[in-house]
Amino acid sequence: MTAPHSLTLADASALIAARRLSPVELLEDCLARIAAVEPRLNAFIRMTVAEAEAAAREAEAEITRDGPRTALHGIPVGLKDIIDLAGHPTTCHSRLRLDHMAERDAVVVARLRAAGAVFPGKLATHEFAIGGPAFDLPFPPARNPWNTAHHPGGSSSGSGAAVASRMLPAALGTDTGGSVRHPASHCGIVGLKPTYGLVPRDGVFPLAFSLDHVGPLTRTVRDAAMMLNIMSGGRADFTRDLNLGLRGLRVGFVRHFHETDQLGDPEMGAAIEAAAELLAAEGARVTTITLPPLAEFAAVNRTILVSEASVVHEEWLKTRPDEYAAVTRRRLLPGLFVPAVDYMHAARRRTQLIAAVEAAFAEVDVLLTASSMDPACRIDDTEAVERTYPRQARTPFNVTGHPAITLMAGLSSGGLPLSVQFVSPSFTEARLLRAAHGFERASPWKDYAPPLDG
């Protein structure tokens, strides 16, 4: 049998239900994998081994007696360390929160716990989900498992690294300007940002109240759908349409995002074009459509994000500014100086941008766009990190709140993942996941893994 840590969530779940794999065996193998590769990746801030082992033993006993509660029963899931896990610190990767202790689970964690999930640890993030990879914090930054000299994407950096490296089958991240989809893009996995409000944010440290989302990072689209089934409170079975395929699906290709708004790296552009060709070959009807320029979405996102973040951080920025990493402080401080009139202009323009995307969905079922414009840069190249971080097409869908998913679409000549993004109308995650699964199933990239064992 495949080593348990290498199994997808869906495969591990099926073996557990068939009594061919126990939750204890799965957890023990994941912990052995963590011991082997974590020192190179810095994905974890805190391990919660004793609790996870107790939960796995409890899950094993219950499954032996009664069968699994849900498809996640006995599955290890990592948590970005801005998400509360009862009885453990939620540090936000910051010295400002080292003494914080979560009194209760975040709502989304409570849902996963009730489903039988097991929590082996808290995962690295960029400080308060807004900094960059920083070396002046209590914990080192996570690294990219495809090449540990490179950036894994952020801010859910530990979540991306842990899942891509096969330390965990799934993890939770948060996404305010693309922070689930960015590490998914750079680490060659699946990152899903659900519709705004579909997954509750109670117990998640806020960055920007009207832009924040909680989403899963997994190795396959099916795994993401299975996670969303629980995270959304059982609103629907998001796996139901996965196998419907791409035939007849109307795909709007937003070429101008990577062709003119921000000229993408040639290899990234070629991967996105190849994805469009594959969709058409599988029976989708692909047409080119135009949305407002990326710069407009980015300006609205930036104005709203820093304004709302300044409300959260106002007191600390005034009284404890030196305790932030330099990059975090630099990104937060402008929010204190944004005039209310600018925030209101951004809010008004936001409604117009939402309307423009809604109008596009009157003509197509899903959108195909770039995610990142470049493969991951070196993590220690501050200039390259600052230059490439905003070169992406993820923030438009934080502004509009539409669900979006990113997945692997190739490898660069340097051996780093390339990616694409799909977007659908609000609360049509089943359709979005169908499109992404259709692409994933027809492409070879789902079978690629970082060369950590080589």
**Which CATH number goes with the domain that contains 353?**
3.90.1300.10
pLDDT at 1: 67
Residue 250: inside a domain:
yes
Check if 80 is active-site: yes
Helix-strand-coil split of the chain, %, nearest 5: 45, 15, 40
- d(C-alpha 435, C-alpha 279), whole Å: 9
Residue 75: inside a domain:
yes
Residue 328: inside a domain:
no
pLDDT at 454: 47
Cβ count near 47 (within 10 Å): 15
Report pTM: 0.98
Owning domain of residue 181: 8-296+335-447
pLDDT at 360: 98
Q: Which of 13, 94, 159, 179 is catalytic?
A: 179
Residue 2: inside a domain:
no
pLDDT at 452: 87
Q: Which residue(s) pair with 288 in the sheet? A: 253
Instruction: At 453, give phi and psi (nearest 5°).
Output: -95, 0
Low-confidence ranges of the chain (pLDDT < 70): 1, 454
The answer to whether 311 and 336 are in contact (CB under 8 A) is: no
Q: 299 vs 150, 177, 385, 400, 414, CA distance in Å? A: 27, 11, 19, 13, 32
Residue 319: inside a domain:
no
- d(C-alpha 81, C-alpha 126), whole Å: 10
Length of the chain in residues, anyone?
Answer: 454
- d(C-alpha 108, C-alpha 170), whole Å: 14
How many Cα atoms within 13 Å fall on the side-chain side of residue 389?
A: 21
Nearest partner of 28 among 61, 74, 68, judged by Cα: 74
Q: What is the pLDDT of residues 67-115, one digit of tens each?
A: 999 999 999 999 999 999 999 999 999 999 999 999 999 999 999 999 9
Q: Which of 13, 22, 155, 443 is catalytic?
A: 155
Q: Which residue(s) pair with 366 in the sheet? A: 251
How many domains in the chain? 1
Residue 292: inside a domain:
yes
The answer to whether 369 and 257 are in contact (CB under 8 A) is: yes
How far out from the chain centre does Cα 326 lie?
A: 24
- Angle among Cα 88, 118, 112 to the nearest 5 degrees reads 90
Residue 255: inside a domain:
yes
Q: Which of 13, 22, 80, 446 is catalytic?
A: 80
Which residues, other chains included, contact 173 with Cβ-Cβ below 8 Å and sequence gap of 6+? 80, 155, 156, 159, 160, 179, 180, 183, 191, 214, 215, 216, 217
Q: For residue 412, say if its preceding peptide bond is cis, omega within 30 degrees of 0.
A: no
Strand pairing category for 366-369 and 250-253: parallel
Tokens of 304: 């709203």
Check if 371 is active-site: no
**Packing angle, helices 9-17 and 23-41, rounded to 10:** 160
Q: What is the pLDDT of residues 195-210, one digit of tens each?
A: 999 999 999 999 999 9
Residue 212: inside a domain:
yes
- d(C-alpha 151, C-alpha 149), whole Å: 7
- d(C-alpha 237, C-alpha 228), whole Å: 9
Tokens of 396: 């438009």
pLDDT at 42: 98
The answer to whether 170 and 194 are in contact (CB under 8 A) is: no
Q: Which residue(s) pair with 286 in the sheet? A: 251
Radius of gyration of the chain (CA): 20
Strand pairing category for 170-175 and 44-47: unpaired
